[in-house]
Amino acid sequence: MLEENFGIVFIMIKKNLLTKLVLISFLILSGPISAESFQDELIDKLKRSITEIGFKKDHIISDDGVMINYYIKGSEKKALVFVHGYSCSSEYWWPQLEYFSKNYTTVAVDLAGHGESGLNRKEYSMEAFGDDVKSVIEHLDLNQVVLIGHSMGGPVIVKAARSLGTKTRLIIGVDTFHDLTTEGIGGFARIAVNTMFQLFYDSMTEDSIDDFFIERTDNDLEEWIRNDALKSPKNISQGTLDALLTMNYPESLRKLSVPMIALNARSFRETKLDSNFDTYKDLQIEFMEEVGHFIMLERPDEFNKWLESKIYE
């Protein structure tokens, strides 16, 4: 089955699967959206470079030869590191980068195939995405980090934290970690999903985008996210999909001892509290009401206050 870590993937499949492949059934990850009154200036910011608020844009080369773009502001060795989700980029953290860089060294990473990073990765996996984050942190010689991941960025930072050891102080997931019992899908289902993706890419992509928004979503924000998602090259989406399909949470969490906190949208997808707490003991899960998948963009002020309170704990 397709589980928690596959948020966008499920939504891509959901509407087509029932009508075109009755034999396979899957689960969800991510969902709707609601709205606080959305500031016009945020949309303007999302169309501009992060460098305009004092961030330095730089890059490293990954072990498999991909250019990994990142942004940094600040010189302290303690840092907040933001990791985006599926088909997204560092720009999705604009309100957080602007806010937190006033008091913290702040870093945002574009994963391979996303944002300004290279498109030449041959084999996508959560391990490779985690290594993208780890390599940036090691290149910057950061010695204590808080890893913050949205959606697919959640499993990515779990992988990064395993490699970083004691450098990771805290893992914070944003509308992710709904079901930590998932072990990834096996052979036949994996082939079926990838085949579905190839055959119905356009309609699945449109359906997935539709399902991220609810009636109260700001129209300008919805349009910006929709247009951005449609820019993702098909082969990159295919590779990222496969990485999501094979993410094994129990195995990845087995030797991890870093505190984890999740802030999930109550209306988007069920969070399996009991099984999550059984799977990972040092876990907190909180909820935001009447908001959907892109919590940090829909309710930026409220989210920033929440995140700051967790960093200080």
Taking only the tens of pLDDT, the chain with its 313 residues reads: 343 444 444 444 344 443 333 222 332 233 333 334 445 788 888 888 999 999 999 999 999 999 999 999 999 999 999 999 999 999 999 999 999 999 999 999 999 999 999 999 999 999 999 999 999 999 999 999 999 999 999 999 999 999 999 999 999 999 999 999 999 877 777 777 778 777 766 766 777 777 777 777 788 888 899 888 888 888 898 888 889 889 999 999 998 999 999 999 987 788 999 999 999 999 999 999 888 789 999 999 999 999 999 998 7
What pLDDT is attached to residue 245? 87
CATH 3.40.50.1820: does it fit domain 4-312? yes
Q: Does the CA dihedral 164-166-169-173 come out positive or negative? A: positive
What pLDDT is attached to residue 79? 98
The CA angle 11-15-21, to the nearest 5 degrees, is 110
Residue 295 CA to residue 207 CA, distance in Å, equals: 20
Residue 25 CA to residue 44 CA, distance in Å, equals: 40
What pLDDT is attached to residue 39? 54
**In the numeric block, which tokens belong to residue 40?**
């016009």
Residue 171 CA to residue 259 CA, distance in Å, equals: 6
What pLDDT is attached to residue 108? 98
Residue 198 CA to residue 120 CA, distance in Å, equals: 19
Question: Which phi-psi region, left, alpha or beta, contains residue 177 (left: φ > 0; alpha: ψ -120 to 50)?
Answer: left
What pLDDT is attached to residue 45? 87
β-sheet bridge partners, residue 83: 109, 149
Residue 107 CA to residue 124 CA, distance in Å, equals: 23
What pLDDT is attached to residue 19? 35
What pLDDT is attached to residue 200? 67
